[in-house]
A and B are shown apart, each in its own frame.
Chain A
Amino acid sequence: MADNQNRNGVAHDNGSHEEHFREKHLMLDPMPRGKMNEMVMDAMHTTSWKFWLVFGMLAALVAYALFYKWGVMILEGLGVAGVNRPAYWGIFLVNTVFWIGISHAGTFISAILRVFKAEYRRPFTRAAELMTTFGLIQAGFSIFMHMGRVWLSYWLMPIPNQRELWPNFHSPLSWDLLAITTYLLGSTMYLFLPLIPDLAMARDRSDGWRKTFYKVLALGFRGTEGEWVHLRNAMNIFAFAIIPVMFSVHTIVSWDFAMATRPGWSSTVFGPYFVIGALHSGMGAVVMVLAVVRGTMKNMKYFIRPEHFEAIGKLMLIISMSWGYFFFNDYLVQWYGGDKWTKQLLHWHEAGPMGWMWFAMLLFNVVIPWGVLWNRKWRSMPWLLFTVGLLINVGMWFERYIIIPISLTINRMPFTWRLYEPGIEVWLGIGTLAFFILLYMAASKLIPLIPVWEVQEGQMAHSLKKFGRETVVTVSELE
């Protein structure tokens, strides 16, 4: 084989081959740290009129759909919502499960990929972690809406009431409170710790109110040996500890349903099925966020490249297959179980008036992802991944809608059968979505979305090495 041919016999010279690597991989395309800092700060400070237009519209939508409508519901009572016998759990709970699902991808991407030292994670861990915190806030809103008398929500807290009774810790709803609180606090702290060095970087490059803002949040971080050691240790502990918490949260959410002896809900596979479903929608949301950040924010094309979409696309494909497996497992066992009511329910899912949703769910969650993501070229296209991510999220929302209000329609008392018709909760759901995007937009202008120090660390660890005629990428273990 000639010197300038690779093992596939394709002619190239080493210079262009290395250039190709650099174009493709962020870790092999280093820039001076100062330049990267400048790019990230520039991305935060550059705000077009379009941004403010969208921001203003979302703020108005949040004010109307979330706060005004919620106020109406508090004043009028839960009667303005569509929840009624037999579907007492409607869109509020659908949204709760949906938002907790969205929150899973942040931890999955950040913690699991950190533990397994997947290097491609570096530029987008923070963008994913932000989704966790903001998603959990929306999940919290949805639960409080579902409560109706939200001012009594402190009854869930582990404090005794006036009759000296403590909350019932044998109830999945109490487990929910403990798990979601742990996850919200844990993921917020996990977001904040690696952010401290970047806040210090922003402090060093800001003035006016921003300087004060970053100075307070950076806590006086300078980057001494001790500070890095404490931070590193804490981040490692968090990366390992937050993973079981993440799994526990959605498992416990699934037990809200599975612990009941209702047809369609009482399933031992619900725990892992919900966890995989959460990752499915969460990964779809991450890829959407990354595509928007890359497409709309200045300098982001350098940090977020097709290689990242390609890598996340592979994960999405695996997760989509796993979701298909668990869905089939859950379906098959219940169908084979032979319980008359469960069979009727499963038939109702696909042949009832909401059957279109059941088929759309399978189309969006399985058929389209499998059809697109197997192809490396396709899964490297940000706009295509955005579309697939969007469809997966619609499909996963449908899945939760089928599990909750549609499954509640059919029960063992036929005289109560009635199709759920949502009321004010549609507006409230739109409000949570708008609030999530609004928070994300605000955060994108206030905190560095790219963990610059982690990117620089990764770039230091990567190099090209020649083995015979082939140039390959090598990674050093710096920790």
Chain B
Amino acid sequence: MTAEEKSILAVFADIDPAADAIEQLRLLGVHDDCMNVISGIPVTEAMLGRPSQWTNVPRLALGGAIAGFLVGVFLSFITPDMYTILVGGQPFTPVPPAVIVVFEMTMLGMLLSTFLGVFLDSYFPSYRPMKYIPEISDGKIAILIECPPPDEQKVTDLLKKLGAESVQLTEAQHL
């Protein structure tokens, strides 16, 4: 669906009617992929009866930790051998100080990749027009439904019947 196309945006005041609406929409033949829930607070998929959302953030965090670990190993064990200077007979690569460097770099890698993971998974930053209404950040729960035009009236009637505060055809606009 392109940004110019319109979707139905139904706004609910509470979780219960929103969850009921999702269930009824599903019975009406609206696939889960054609629905998106937008809310001002995190509402879990289980509460809404929605399929689990996939996130790459933990995997990216792990990847970042491994990369950071390798950078730490490089700094602690490889760089001292690049230009060797013997100082007081001390070893070039003692393990205890290396643990500190490796720990810090591992954590830095993990934290940076977790942060970047949110950006990658959420497509942040995104300043293009989007389907949204500001009431959502007032704690409302909105269901964004993409359905073929012939079904629009049917879906709208159902949502109103299920307690939606407002049901409107919405198009993408600058936030």
Q: Are B75 and A158 touching (Cβ within 8 A)?
A: yes
Q: When each residue 84-97 of chain B gets 1 if its CB lies under 8 Å from chain A and 0 otherwise, what string results?
A: 01000010001001
List the one stretch of A177-185, A314-322, A371-379, A387-395 in contact with chain B: A177-185
Q: Does B49 contact A (CB under 8 A)?
A: no
Contact A248-B103, Cβ < 8 Å, known A222-B130, A222-B132: yes
Nearest residue (CB) in A for B144 is A224
Contact A222-B105, Cβ < 8 Å, known A169-B98, A204-B134: no
Q: Are B108 and A34 touching (Cβ within 8 A)?
A: no
Task: Tell me, in angstroms, the Cα distance from A248 to B104 when the chains sit together.
Answer: 8
Count of chain A residues with Cβ under 8 Å from any Cβ of B?
63
Q: Does B110 contact A (CB under 8 A)?
A: yes
Contact A227-B122, Cβ < 8 Å, known A34-B139, A182-B104: yes
Q: When each residue 285-297 of chain A gets 1 if its CB lies under 8 Å from chain B and 0 otherwise, what string results?
A: 0000000000000
Contacts of A200 in B (CB 8 A): 137, 175
Q: Are B40 and A453 touching (Cβ within 8 A)?
A: yes
Q: Does A112 contact B (CB under 8 A)?
A: no
Contacts of B42 in A (CB 8 A): 228, 231-232, 453, 457, 479
**Residue in B44, B83, B137 whose CB lies within 8 Å of A479:** B44
Q: Does B138 contact A (CB under 8 A)?
A: yes
Q: Are A185 and B58 touching (Cβ within 8 A)?
A: no
- Which positions 33-65 of chain B face chain A at CB distance < 8 Å? 36-45, 47, 50, 53, 55, 57-58, 61
Q: Are A220 and B110 touching (Cβ within 8 A)?
A: no
**Residue in B50, B101, B123, B124 whose CB lies within 8 Å of A169:** B101
List the one stretch of A56-64, A160-168, A401-409, A426-434 in contact with chain B: A160-168
Q: Are A160 and B82 touching (Cβ within 8 A)?
A: yes
**Residue in B36, B45, B107 whose CB lies within 8 Å of A186:** B107
Contacts of B134 in A (CB 8 A): 204-205
Q: Could you pull out 21 A-B pairs where Cβ atoms are within 8 angstroms?
A: A32-B139, A33-B41, A33-B137, A33-B139, A175-B100, A179-B100, A182-B104, A182-B105, A182-B107, A182-B108, A186-B111, A219-B125, A220-B127, A227-B122, A230-B121, A234-B118, A237-B61, A241-B111, A241-B114, A244-B107, A479-B42
- Spell out A's residues near B (CB within 8 Å): 32-34, 37, 158, 160, 163-166, 169-170, 174-175, 178-179, 181-182, 185-186, 189-190, 192-193, 197, 200-201, 203-205, 215-216, 218-234, 237-238, 241-242, 244-245, 248, 252, 453, 456-457, 460, 478-479
